[in-house]
Amino acid sequence: MSGLTPSQTVGPFFSIGLDWPQANQLTGDQLIGQPLVLTGQVLDGDGQPVPDALLEIWQADASGSYPRPGSAGFSGAGRCATDADGRYVFETLKPGGVTADDGIAHAPVINLVLFARGLLTHLYTRVYFSEETAANAVDPALGCVPEARRASLLAQREGDHYRFDIRLQGEAETVFFDV
């Protein structure tokens, strides 16, 4: 066994090394599924926008399969830095629910990890969809979250997009996961 390498903050200047063109666009002409725009704001403990956060997502395709190494088509992976107002946006496809090898059904979800100045270790959270009532009710991860806090994990449909704000601290703090 070797000792795990510790984490350190991404700091304020990550765009030098982590800026990928169009990394927040996972859509393409050849892809099958329901287009989905996911957007929101990252807010600190005072409710102020966090203008220097980096978000990455990982998700299944519309049929509920996670892309495998070397496979063509939908990448399932995206990256977006917040703007001066703490806002981010991903253009992707709505993920399908996934039935795992053990037969357990997982609700449609976008896995999200957040890095920022001030965070020594990154934060994992998950974007669920408010209309997926039946699938959410039996999702094994949502079931671990106290009921009063589950609303922080539900993206809400607003017109042509889904809104998912991330509150790092304080009232209505977003649930983060130990995965």
Partner 1 sequence: MSRPCATVPPGIYPPNDCPAYRSSAKRAPGEAAVRIPPGPGDISGPCFGAERLRAGATDLTVNSQGGVAQGQRIVVHGRVTDQAGRPERRALIEVWQANAAGRYLHGGDQHDAPLDPCFTGAGQALTDDDGAYRFITIEPGAYPWGNHPNAWRPRHIHFSLFGQAWASRLVTQMYFEGDPLLPFDPIYMSMPDRDVRERLVARFDLENSQPDFALAYRFDIVLRGPDETPLERQL
Which of 119, 132, 161, 165 is close enough to bind partner 1 by CB under 8 A?
119
Position 59 contacts partner 1 (CB under 8 A) = yes
Q: Does 55 bind partner 1 (CB under 8 A)?
A: no
Binding of residue 25 to partner 1 (CB under 8 A): no
Q: Whole-number minimum distance, CB 159 to partner 1, in Å?
A: 27
Exposure class string for 30-65: b at 16+ Cβ within 10 A, else e: eeeeeebebbbbbbbeeeebbbbbbbbbbbbbbeee
Strands (DSSP E) found in 10-101: 35-43, 53-59, 77-81, 87-93, 98-99
Q: Toward partner 1, which CB reaches closer, 20 or 159? A: 20
Stretch that binds partner 1, among 30-38, 82-90, 93-101, 154-162 (CB under 8 A): 93-101
**CB-CB neighbours of 127 under 10 Å:** 22
Pick one of 25, 34, 48, 130: the residue that binds partner 1 (CB under 8 A): 48
Say which residue the tokens 């357990």 belong to.
104
Q: How far apart are CA 98 and CA 164, in angstroms?
A: 21
154 binds partner 1 (CB under 8 A): no
Tokens standing for residue 39:
């957007």
Give CA–CA dist 93/60, Å, rounded: 9
Positions touching partner 1 (CB under 8 A) are 1-18, 20, 44-46, 48, 50, 52, 56, 58-60, 66-70, 75-77, 98, 100-101, 106, 109, 111, 113, 115-124, 140-141, 144-145, 149, 168-170, 173-179
